[in-house]
Amino acid sequence: MLFLYFIIFGKPDGFSVLWTAMLPSFGLLLFEIRYGSSLSLLIFAALIFFFWTPVGQGLLQYDYSPTFKLRFPLLYLACFAVAFLLKKLREVAHNALRESRKNYEYLSNHDALTKLYNRFWLQTIIANPEKYDLRPAAVAILDIDNFKLINDSYGHPNGDIVIREIGETILKTLNGSGDLCRWGGDEFLVLFHTDIDADTVCRRVVDAVHAHCFLFNGQDMRTTLSIGLVTAPNGSTTDIEALIHRADVNLYQAKENGRNRMISSRLGE
């Protein structure tokens, strides 16, 4: 209504209508492109009606010059085009920034080699267990047996293949029963969800890794896995650090007992 008042009466001295050239910028800023563009084009249609049609010109109470009536709608359309372009550029920049942030968060929480969660992800959860509402039923630390010998015999690139494919084998065997992360080097860590038979799952993991065959330089190669598992009392706990410490102790014992096996216990026993 204010727009119509200013354009019809032209107060003061025809200057008030000039502010309508700013409407596309405000419309596109306040609303999404579809609604902002619709509003801007509706105003442009009104300018065309009042300045370029006999009926509209007859409604005007201010004597705009012929040059002004000819050029101002074009000026308004140019302002709309610039505002539309700037809005699109803002959207592109915003989407690129959002995608970059998403990629940064992914890279900061995932291991580059295995694409699994990394130690930073786990430490973030340990530092804020209430925020993530995580109460694991068990924790397992898994270590590739004789991995240094694999690196020395087949080379580090093939060692990376072993780590990556064993990570894939563990993840497939877990089948969603826990969160898997690369704990560091040739070690993995699993946070088991509540009400999960972690002992049975870990034994399946040991068998699956032992059954996996690698082909290096025309030779078949197999390796094994040792696991230290600890389950939480009462089915869950927020003391993840205590679970990890005891799982690490059990892993060391599994290594001492000959590897390719699992040692499990309950926290507090």
Give strand pairing partners of 187.
143, 184
To the nearest 10 degrees (0 to 180), the angle between helices 240-256 and 119-127 is 140
Backbone dihedral region of 44: left (phi > 0), alpha (psi from -120 to 50 degrees) or beta? alpha
Distance of CA 96 to the CA centre of its chain: 13
Residues 6+ away with beta carbon under 8 Å from 135: 129, 194, 232, 236, 237, 238
Residue from 127, 35, 24, 26 nearest 77 by CA: 24
Of 143, 145, 179, 186, catalytic: 186
Residues 6+ away with beta carbon under 8 Å from 162: 144, 147, 150, 214, 223
Distance of CA 176 to the CA centre of its chain: 19
Q: Are strands 178-184 and 262-266 parallel, antiparallel or unpaired?
A: unpaired
Helix (H) or strand (E) holding 36: helix 33-52
The answer to whether 181 touches 188, Cβ cutoff 8 Å, is yes
In the annotation, is 186 catalytic? yes
Tally the C-alpha atoms within 13 A of residue 76's C-alpha that lie toward its C-beta: 25
Q: Would you list the DSSP string of 65-95?
A: -HHHHHHHHHHHHHHHHHHHHHHHHHHHHHH
Cα separation of 99 and 93, whole Å?
10
Q: What positions carry a catalytic annotation? A: 186
